[in-house]
Chain A
Amino acid sequence: DAGVTQSPTHLIKTRGQQVTLRCSPKSGHDTVSWYQQALGQGPQFIFQYYEEEERQRGNFPDRFSGHQFPNYSSELNVNALLLGDSALYLCASSPGAGVPEQYFGPGTRLTVT
């Protein structure tokens, strides 16, 4: 049973560019959440997707957007990258329908230069 997977593992981008990160949830899970983890900090909630809709959003600007596909996989897009966007981006999946346990993927390390 595959757990949560994310791609790519690492990414280096230049300020002002755009980036797309991908996540496949654990088998049987239909809800995907995205988090940003800066070095030495706890993960910060970006948004959560269920039934292809964004159903909750954290305190992140509109430069951060997402999408969920019919197979429950998800993308995180970040436009107009800033140096401060450098972080580990974590995807977590949960079974949905009010079951709150979230299981994390290995993350994508984004470096903005």
Chain B
Amino acid sequence: GENVEQHPSTLSVQEGDSAVIKCTYSDSASNYFPWYKQELGKRPQLIIDIRSNVGEKKDQRIAVTLNKTAKHFSLHITETQPEDSAVYFCAATHSGGGADGLTFGKGTHLIIQP
């Protein structure tokens, strides 16, 4: 089955700086890679996703890049703000194969220092 590794487990950055979270996956059949943000006591929120036919996707201050050859994908947050503090999870699945249960990484606790 799929295995997703996520690094770092904790990331502390100064407000206004950029943050990068990296994930690797094992199953070359995986073709859908979402990122979720989970604030304390709340539900995971889908913030951005990328499919395997695309190398990069941007939405305002967040972007995701995908390297299919190396089987890794990354989340980039620019101009970080206090409200970006949360736990971020990457995930992977093979969509279109009849079912698409997500395999998640262990999460990155992002701390924005004022």
Contacts and interface: CB of A to CB of B under 8 A. Distances in A.
Interface of A: 4, 33, 35, 40-45, 47-48, 50, 55-56, 58-59, 90, 92, 94, 98, 100-107
A41 B106 CA distance: 5
B95 A98 contact: yes
Nearest to A55: B99
B100 interface: yes
Contacts of A105: 43
B114 interface: no
Nearest to B109: A40
Given A42-B89, A43-B104, A106-B43, A100 B98 contact: no
Interface residues of B, number: 26
Contacts of A48: 99-101
Contact of B101 (A4, A33, A101): A33
Nearest to A33: B101
Given A45-B102, A100-B95, A105-B43, 19 more contacts: A42-B6, A42-B104, A43-B89, A43-B104, A45-B101, A48-B100, A48-B101, A55-B99, A56-B98, A56-B99, A56-B100, A56-B101, A100-B49, A100-B100, A101-B49, A102-B100, A104-B36, A104-B44, A107-B43
A102 B92 CA distance: 12
B42 interface: yes
A58 B91 CA distance: 14
